Structure 1
């Protein structure tokens, strides 16, 4: 997704920080919704993913998905899929490319994803 006039300016990763990229337009739109509805929590999510998207320090908030959601494919490559709980319902899902030190956001929304509903 190419930036256009009026878009926020993304900050580049510095030092050991990871690069964050949107994998889909829907994820970019959902991220904007999260920023509007829960700016503080979304900022904490951004900082956590930038510093360590595979952290196990707070598994209730940030964890690798399991079962059929444990991996997902982007550009023909399969990656481990993780999730960050931004709010009680809001989630960010992302794929982790360790080689490129990049987290690809595949889902972001103030609403819980439907695919985990029982």
Structure 2
């Protein structure tokens, strides 16, 4: 094994998966619209899924937990653009981040305008 040209994997990587087709389609829309922002989001989420700052934070209340595969998982949000969001659930046991929602528009569930 020479090592030259070999891909060097990230230590202790997180796997990122779409929870459903809608999340996958939303991810693809973000990829088409803002690939650089999405790359930064990917790096931030997979580097430290629980890092809290103005763009990355846990969802609150009922949105803070989501059931996937029978397990209750923490649900977080990453603000990709002013309106674009990624919601993801953290599965520590499998080191997997489940994309539960993604899109270029602000999610209606967290919109406080008009309430």
Per the TM superposition, whether the score is higher than 0.5 is yes
The TM-score normalised by the length of structure 1 is: 0.83
Which residue, out of 45, 55, 58, partners 2:41?
A: 45
CA contact (8 A) 1:62 1:82 kept: yes
Aligned to 2:21: 25
What pairs with 1:1-118 in structure 2 (closer than 5 Å)? Answer: 14-56=10-52, 59-118=53-112
Q: How many residues align?
A: 104
**Can you give the 5+ residue segments of structure 2 that lack an aligned partner in the other structure?**
1-8
The TM-score normalised by the length of structure 2 is: 0.85
**Can you give the 5+ residue segments of structure 1 that lack an aligned partner in the other structure?**
1-12
Moved over 3 A (4+): none
Cα separation, 2, equivalents of 1:85 and 1:117: 14
Q: CA RMSD in A?
A: 1.1
Secondary structure class of the residue paired with 1:16? coil
Secondary structure class of the residue paired with 2:22? helix
- Report Cα offsets for 1:7-54 as digits up to 9, x if no partner: xxxxxx631221111101111100110011111101101111221111
CA contact (8 A) 1:61 1:84 kept: yes
